[in-house]
Amino acid sequence: MAHYFIKPDKDATLIRGASIEGTSSKFNLGGDEILEVGKAFDAGSTSVGSIQRALIKFPLTQVSKSVANGEIGSDVKFYLNLYDAGSFELTRDDNSLEVYVISQSWTEGDGKLTDSPHIQEGVSWRYRTGVTQSLEWKSGSTSDWGATYFSSSFYSASFMFSKTGSDARIDVTQMVNTLISGSASNEGFLLRRPKSIEALGNSNNYGVLKFFSSDTHTIYYPKLEAVWDDASWSTGSLSSTDLDELGKLEVYLTSLRQQYKLGSVSKIRVYGRERYVARSFATSSEYLTVKYFPSASSFYSITDSKTDHVLIPFGSGSKLSCDSTSNFFKLKTDGLEPERYYNIHFKVVSGSGINKTVEYLDNKHSFKIVE
């Protein structure tokens, strides 16, 4: 399983009112369960009530070491995963989110939107560390408040949402590689809407994006995902599966256990056999014949049993491997939540164009992660 998940070190929402000098520019929301990005209007009005941006930082030391020593492949891609927490009023065509590398350090704090009075220690729209320490987001003017960041293409990415909001899986490979190389210190990512949308003079309502933060009590906290192709292929004397018979196959996992300890790594053997084998006069049972699935087009996926949330999608990081015994994949449990059940699914693609077929093979294989 060539997927590696990293939890955030810290995250926070930054909020300012219609006036940049207003009190809300000092509010800390580092402990809130929700991250907000957008611009909200006063009720029944075209007057801007507030502008929201979000900060999020992931530790990169371990993943940097793993890339350097070859544990993570050189073809690794990085994705920022954000999970929708009730985005609203996304009614216009431009539902884009911009991501930038932050250029100054900041302190998370533990304030919440519902605090009364609001906490002013920790990061805010105006301050990086809190009012009493007076370290502003500033390199020259108040236009730098709301986080300072690198604006070149090497330090930025973007994502377009649907009008109803959705989860996001944003390719931040170039940004992470730049941080791993040491070209900039890792201070995290800034999430914001484009300047044209944030502008106070723009009275169009583009809505507010809302995501679960690292303080959520759900499984939907933000994740940085590393994905690479770790598949190996050597079929030995095995025979290939008849692609025309894929719809008649059952998938068997002979080495799957009911429980795995968090942090363990296990090789899961994958076998495909026909559901109903035709009678023959052979001296051995056809049920004992092992055949391999097609190379580079056979995949597995892992989902949460309760929510159907996809943790490992079908793709380059979830190809089946093969050796002289059978197909297999390595189940790496880092990044999975303990005390939860997970399902394993399979997908086989054959042919191309109008002759392309896609088969999903699902025998309800499941396992549990324990501490």
pLDDT at 243: 63
Confidence of residue 95 (pLDDT cuts 50, 70, 90): confident
* Cα gap 29→52, rounded to integer Å: 11
pLDDT at 1: 57
pLDDT at 285: 46
Alpha helices in 69-185 (DSSP H): 173-180
**251 to 232, 244, 256, 322, 367: CA distances (angstroms):** 20, 16, 12, 15, 16
What average pLDDT is seen over the chain? Answer: 88
Domains, the chain, ordered by start: 3-227 (no CATH), 239-370 (2.60.40.1930)
pLDDT at 151: 86
pLDDT at 284: 47
Instruction: Give tens-digit pLDDT for 201-226.
Output: 888 888 899 999 999 999 999 999 99
pLDDT at 288: 55
Inter-helix orientation angle 61-68/173-180, to 10°: 90
Instruction: Give tens-digit pLDDT for 17-75.
Output: 888 888 999 999 999 999 999 999 888 778 888 999 999 999 999 999 999 999 898 89
pLDDT at 94: 72
Residue type, 262: L
Q: How many CB atoms lie within 10 A of CB 292?
A: 24
Confidence of residue 335 (pLDDT cuts 50, 70, 90): confident
Of the candidates 285, 254, 258, 283, the one whose C-alpha atom is nearest the C-alpha of residue 268 is: 254
In this prediction, what percent of the chain has a pLDDT beyond 90? 59
